[in-house]
Structure 1
Amino acid sequence: MNSYDVAIIGSGPGGYVAAIRCAQLGMKTAIIEKYSTLGGTCLNVGCIPSKALLDSSHHYEDAVKHFEEHGIDIPGDIKVNLKQMIARKQSVVDQTTGGIDFLMKKNKIDVYEGLGSFKDATHITIKGKETTEIEAKNIIIATGSKPSSLPFITLDKERVITSTEALKLTEIPKHLVVIGGGVIGLELGQVYKRLGSEVTVVEYMDRIIPTMDSGLSKELNKVLKKQKFTINTSHKVKSVERKGKEVIVKADNKKGEEVIIKGDYCLVSVGRRPYTDGLNVEAAGVKLTDRGQIEVNDHLQTNVKNIYAIGDVVKGAMLAHKAEEEGVFVAEILAGQKPHIDYNLIPGVVYTWPEVASVGKTEEQLQEEKVDYKVGQFPMRALGRSRASMDLDGFVKILADKKTDEILGVHMVGARAADMIAEAVVAMEFRASAEDVSRMSHAHPTFTEAIKEAALAATEDRALHI
């Protein structure tokens, strides 16, 4: 039987990064993955393929709607080749997962393919082509999450689908009904809207992206409606029925009136659930919470001292980069170091266009915590760079402490917001004030000038370009 210092169950961003860091720190490391490719949901059926389709569909939309204005004339009709678009997406996935294979070899990490389940707190049985057993002093659970559904919905994975199936459709829906106005539903909804689908979003809460700052929800709602999305908030879905090639969604609006929406595809994107199926945690004595998550302490340690858990399977935001931070954190704890994670400073991003990004406290949280704060906001349309690229929607909003001027939250909608948010994370990591950021030189013309201007607006309301 092979013995290891650390064994990691699950090879998503949390698992494979934990494995690399453990190996870097001199531990003999194994990683167990039940699927034939490494990388978990994110690389195979999540972050990476969805961004590939978002980019492809964005190029198509630009060609159809904006090339002529840019002085680019294309003879003949511009057509979508969905088969090629999906094939390119798959090649991006293959290159990325292949890169993880390379990193495992480079770091001398043993990879086991099969379903890993606990025999006891130090032994894992791996059921693949053959059944193998390994021993490990420490074990990290990184089994991630799966798409959630609603109890009355039958997911046939043909017409009533999850994000996994939405990434490999063979035809463009005529009318895609999206249940859930969160990140996944809006991103995939925008992919197919660009390609010609009618898209209707049905959201239970009173706004889309309900976990983010309400100003971001309002702005994105306005932009998506301009893009001809139909958005129904405060709608409670009560049934989804398939009849041949038609899907009928029935919901009650906030007045209690029944609304019937008919489409040819229905994407169910009502969140994700922690995935522990087949893990047999009971054999190791590991406790689960009432929400099905692995219960952990502040060191991501379970109630069994040599077993840790990270990523979507534990509490907190289900984000690939949060899982990566936790993977490094646990590896360094096992090596006797004293790492830290500030969960308040893990950014959230929605990869629609314009993009949405956020870090720190929202206005609603600051009001609830009775924090005296000030707001500096700057519109993207006031930037020369935005006008040059025709990306005029959105704004940057900085929330700062009224007394100390320390930045407490940064929220933005706009082109490249996903990249720009990193500046805010750096500033807040070093507890910068709004004035600190306002006095930093930002290259002109850039989108990031909006951050400087928002900081100026928060500092005695002295933005320069509005």
Structure 2
Amino acid sequence: MENQYDVVVIGSGPGGYVAAIRASQLGYRVAIVEKYSTLGGTCTNVGCIPAKSLLDSSEHYHQAEVQFKAHGINTGGISLDFGQFIRRKGEVVAQNTAGLVYLMKKNKIQVYHGVGSFTDATHLKVTAADKTEAVLTSRYFIIATGSKPSTIPGVAIDKKRIITSTESLSLPEKPASMVIIGGGVIGVELASVYARIGTSVTIIEYTDNLIPTMDRELGKALQKSLRQLKINLLLGSKVQSAVNNGDTATVKFLDQQGAPQEIKADYCLVAVGRRAYTDGLNLQAAGIQTAKNGKITVNEKLQTNVPNIYAIGDVIDGPMLAHKAEEEGVFAAETIHGLHPHLNYALVPGVVYTWPEVAAVGATEEQLKAQNVEYKAGKFPYMASARARASMDTDGFVKVLVSPKYGEILGVHIIGPRAADVIAQSVLAIEQEMTAEEMIRSCYAHPTYAEALKDAYLIATGQGAINI
């Protein structure tokens, strides 16, 4: 039959397209269903990729303003073409989505654009934008429909003045001011983008620290960096409401002392997290169970309670990260094939693409203390790194947490230049159960940002740093 498949993947984000490709590589007849007209999901279209494009563009502009003179580069007066700033981001997205179209064709994966809705555990109805329908029959399904921005009581997102990260990536003109509700990963990244190009930015965060899910020292160091960008940080503050005034938005909140305050800005960006997106899937028809938070319940094999239906990525428990979804996509496809893949959630790295970047893997100091786990910390500042001094990127540090008994690496936490890339070595080291001594004995190229890791391990083991 024309619409009969071995595996149908619902959702074409990083988890979905990776799952589809891996299933095809394993010899299955595969289809992928995508609600929108382009492939790639949130990450490629309105998340990771466009955000990093704007982060890079804004950092170049900021360096031209504040650092080029120190390098002997005289630019004269510089200005920002905000239209081109946004257009370049669009070009990057288009290149990536075109690459996904190529990969689907290369791997002989049939693409259906439309909303997928289960009619039972083996059939999915796909309704296209023009209302035409196709019914797909499949032995297996992998649900990878991702997530959508969430909000808080008193704050209704209208996508005009009270916006989400999606709208913030395509504003019609550079805003003079912006209030961001939430000091997590999305909030601090977008705060960096707009503060660098001259927008007056205020972050209102409910907890007393930025990026509260990460090691506390990282958040404290990030506060210092963001304040250098003149970002106003209102920590320990509770937002009560946000109102669209037409050409501005007003946010009312309680400050650290519980006193009522309000602030007005061109835009209010809501960055308080995301929720699992399963709208329209008609999960009940397939008998699929969900938890109270709306996420799909799966077992250790990523199977739902319906054995032939799997779920991955943001629709299930765990960090809402593209690379976590990718690993789960491979895991699900290989499990369907009868293989026995391995996935260690404790070793999914977290990254924040501010500058300096923030990256971490393993346990935080707070977690180790709460569990009464003995550890030694080694902390090396980038101020003492020759490579960092050469590039004028001396903010931040590397901190490693090591077991004093056997030298086991318990956690690595970095805030500094290229932390997102440097953390990969630590993920591999912990995965392969390397010790601090083995990390010290490895040869690091000089001068590099990664050398700071070696010195941190030397400090943790009581030997003392030896590099600059």
Aligned 8 A contact 2:458 2:465 in 1: yes
Aligned to 1:238: 240
Any idea what SS the aligned residue of 2:339 has? Answer: coil
The structure 1 residue matched to 2:219, chosen from 210, 217, 220, is: 217
Note the C-alpha offset of 1:465: 4.2
Question: 1:140 is aligned with what amino acid?
Answer: I
Aligned to 1:141: 143
CA–CA distance in structure 1, aligned partners of residues 155 and 45 of structure 2: 25
Aligned 8 A contact 1:119 1:284 in 2: yes
- Give runs of aligned pairs for residues 78-93 of structure 1, distance below 5 A: 78-93=78-93
Note the C-alpha offset of 1:146: 0.2
Question: 2:119 is aligned with what amino acid?
Answer: K
Aligned to 1:61: 62
The structure 2 residue matched to 1:283, chosen from 276, 282, 285, is: 285
Deviations along 1:290-310, one digit per CA (max 9) or x if unpaired, are 000000011110000000000
Question: 2:90 is aligned with what amino acid?
Answer: Q
Note the C-alpha offset of 1:267: 0.5
Deviations along 1:174-207, one digit per CA (max 9) or x if unpaired, are 1110000011111111101011011100001111
Question: 1:320 is aligned with what amino acid?
Answer: A
Aligned to 1:302: 304
% identical equivalent positions: 57
Does structure 1 residue 43 correspond to structure 2 residue 44?
yes
CA–CA distance in structure 2, aligned partners of residues 131 and 151 of structure 1: 37
Q: After superposing the two structures, state which structure 1 stretch, 452-461 or 349-358, moved more.
A: 452-461
CA–CA distance in structure 2, aligned partners of residues 212 and 377 of structure 1: 16
Any idea what SS the aligned residue of 2:69 has? Answer: coil
Aligned to 2:73: 72
Aligned to 2:377: 375
CA–CA distance in structure 2, aligned partners of residues 42 and 246 of structure 1: 28
Question: 1:79 is aligned with what amino acid?
Answer: S
Q: After superposing the two structures, state which structure 1 stretch, 217-226 or 273-282, moved more.
A: 217-226
Q: After superposing the two structures, state which structure 1 stretch, 152-161 or 30-39, moved more.
A: 152-161
Aligned to 2:33: 32
Aligned to 1:112: 112
Question: 1:146 is aligned with what amino acid?
Answer: K
CA–CA distance in structure 1, aligned partners of residues 283 and 304 of structure 2: 11
Question: 1:251 is aligned with what amino acid?
Answer: F
Does structure 1 residue 337 correspond to structure 2 residue 362?
no
Note the C-alpha offset of 1:154: 2.1
CA–CA distance in structure 2, aligned partners of residues 301 and 367 of structure 1: 34
Moved over 6 A (4+): none
Does structure 1 residue 402 correspond to structure 2 residue 404?
yes
Q: After superposing the two structures, state which structure 1 stretch, 316-325 or 224-233, moved more.
A: 224-233
Aligned to 1:18: 19
CA–CA distance in structure 1, aligned partners of residues 467 and 217 of structure 2: 21
Aligned to 1:150: 152
CA–CA distance in structure 2, aligned partners of residues 461 and 174 of structure 1: 51
Question: 2:114 is aligned with what amino acid?
Answer: G
Q: After superposing the two structures, state which structure 1 stretch, 432-441 or 346-355, moved more.
A: 432-441
Note the C-alpha offset of 1:277: 0.4
Question: 2:18 is aligned with what amino acid?
Answer: V
Note the C-alpha offset of 1:418: 0.4
Question: 1:48 is aligned with what amino acid?
Answer: I
CA–CA distance in structure 1, aligned partners of residues 397 and 256 of structure 2: 30
CA–CA distance in structure 2, aligned partners of residues 440 and 279 of structure 1: 50
- Give runs of aligned pairs for residues 383-398 of structure 1, distance below 5 A: 383-398=385-400
Note the C-alpha offset of 1:463: 1.5
CA–CA distance in structure 1, aligned partners of residues 287 and 21 of structure 2: 27
Aligned to 2:426: 424
Any idea what SS the aligned residue of 1:69 has? Answer: helix
CA–CA distance in structure 1, aligned partners of residues 394 and 333 of structure 2: 43
Aligned 8 A contact 2:10 2:34 in 1: yes
Question: 1:147 is aligned with what amino acid?
Answer: P
CA–CA distance in structure 1, aligned partners of residues 236 and 65 of structure 2: 34
CA–CA distance in structure 1, aligned partners of residues 234 and 467 of structure 2: 36
Deviations along 1:131-169, one digit per CA (max 9) or x if unpaired, are 000100000000000000123212121211100000001
CA–CA distance in structure 2, aligned partners of residues 292 and 131 of structure 1: 27
Any idea what SS the aligned residue of 1:426 has? Answer: helix
**Scaled by the length of structure 2, what TM-score is found?**
0.98
Tell me how large the CA RMSD over aligned residues is.
Answer: 0.9
Q: After superposing the two structures, state which structure 1 stretch, 235-244 or 89-98, moved more.
A: 235-244
Note the C-alpha offset of 1:223: 1.3
Note the C-alpha offset of 1:39: 0.3
CA–CA distance in structure 1, aligned partners of residues 192 and 161 of structure 2: 18
CA–CA distance in structure 2, aligned partners of residues 322 and 20 of structure 1: 16
Aligned 8 A contact 1:376 1:461 in 2: no
Note the C-alpha offset of 1:262: 1.4
Any idea what SS the aligned residue of 2:68 has? Answer: coil
CA–CA distance in structure 2, aligned partners of residues 244 and 345 of structure 1: 46
User: Structure 2 stretches of 5 or more lacking a match?
Assistant: none
CA–CA distance in structure 1, aligned partners of residues 436 and 251 of structure 2: 47
Question: 1:200 is aligned with what amino acid?
Answer: T
Deviations along 1:57-110, one digit per CA (max 9) or x if unpaired, are 1111111111111111123x2110011111110010000011010000000001
Aligned 8 A contact 1:159 1:266 in 2: yes
Aligned to 2:451: 449
- Give runs of aligned pairs for residues 288-367 of structure 1, distance below 5 A: 288-367=290-369
User: Structure 1 stretches of 5 or more lacking a match?
Assistant: none
Aligned 8 A contact 2:153 2:240 in 1: no
